[in-house]
Structure 1
Amino acid sequence: MMKYLLSFIFTVSSGVALAQNNIVESLQTNVPGQGKVTVHQDAQITEMIGKRFVRTGASEAQRVIKTRGYRVQVYAGNNSRQARDEANSVAEKVKEKFPDMPVYTFFQPPRWLCRVGDYKSIEEAHVAMRQLKAAGNFKEVAIVREQINIHIE
């Protein structure tokens, strides 16, 4: 009976000891006849290993819902490097004149696009389009239906 009890305790304690090792510790253990592994990493990474979830820097106030809505397109070019530079230039002009409007510059084959805003209704987009036209710097301004980001507070 004592033999069984001791073997049970030994098995459980060795299982617990092995379960406490993480992947980095098991890689760094020296085993005869095998190579040696050295892992260089930040201490924060070591703390994250084995956790079921990791908190990101985003708070709950920064959550976003993606839905169908409207944006105002202020530039549409071709697929050249010059078009990319022009799209980024237009985006900078919009950011200077309207710092509260979100600006999206991206490549949608076969052209570079610069779009502004996240509007739920076409009326909101129309108001923004009139503001952009009144600024006078943007030649080709149009409302487009697209997936938008709605920030939840």
Structure 2
Amino acid sequence: MKTAVFDHKSKPAFIKYCFFFILILASTQTFAQQVRGRVEVIKDPLVDTLIAKRFEMNNAAGVPTAFSSYGYRVQIFSGSNRKDAYSAQARLQDQYPELRTYIIYSEPNFKVRAGDFRTRMEAQKLMQELRSSFSSLFIISEKINPPKTDPDND
């Protein structure tokens, strides 16, 4: 004997299937909306002119563009007195005029660092030479400027 399907049970099942079908259809529509677009950059043409002018000035001055790397510097002074930092820098410049020096202020101390060395051994060599002139010397690893190149040395 067959069992009869009553109307009150078939309507909720039909509604569930319709709801499931609508969810599937809606999810496929949301995936279809992920079309890659085009980005348009609106800028003043003077920006390109300024960038070109900067590269031109750097090339004329002999400054290499977009080159820096990590290396080592020798820290010769660290203290809170600005005059002492500048005097330490002047003493080093008297001994080694070709050596680049940098004064860094990180509150509350001034730090004087020297050199742009690619290897730690080069920095240690300078540190040994300066040991008699300066009491507290440290080798610091940080981003350095490129060494000066000699255009006559080809």
**What's the TM-score, normalizing by structure 1?**
0.57
1:103 corresponding residue in structure 2: 101
The counterpart of 1:72, out of the listed 67, 71, 74, is: 74
Distance 2:109 2:117 in 1: 23
Segments of structure 1 that go 5 or more residues without pairing to the other structure are 1-48
C-alpha RMSD of matched pairs (Å): 2.3
Asked if the contact 2:100/2:115 (under 8 Å) is kept, the reply is yes
1:63 and 2:64 matched: yes
1:117 aligned partner? 115
Name the SS of the counterpart of 2:98 in structure 1.
coil
- Distance (whole Å) between structure 2 residues aligned to residue 112 and residue 95 of structure 1: 17
**AA in 2 matched with 1:56:** M
Distance 1:152 1:86, change over 3 A: closer
* Contact 2:58/2:64 (<8 A) preserved: no
The number of residue pairs the alignment matches comes to 99
Pick aligned residue for 2:138 from 134, 138, 142? 142
Runs (5+) with no aligned partner, structure 2? 1-45, 150-154
1:91 counterpart = 2:93: no
What SS does structure 2 have at the residue aligned with 1:113?
strand
Give the AA of the match of 1:106. Answer: I
Q: TM-score, normalised by structure 2?
A: 0.57
Higher relative contact order (CA 8 A, sep 6+): 1
Identity %: 24
Q: What secondary structure does 1:73 align onto?
A: strand
Structure with larger Rg: 2
Residues 60-90 of structure 1, C-alpha deviation per residue, up to 9 Å, x if partnerless? 7321622111100000012xxxx11111110
Q: Which amino acid aligns with 2:68?
A: K
Paired position in structure 2 for 1:128? 126
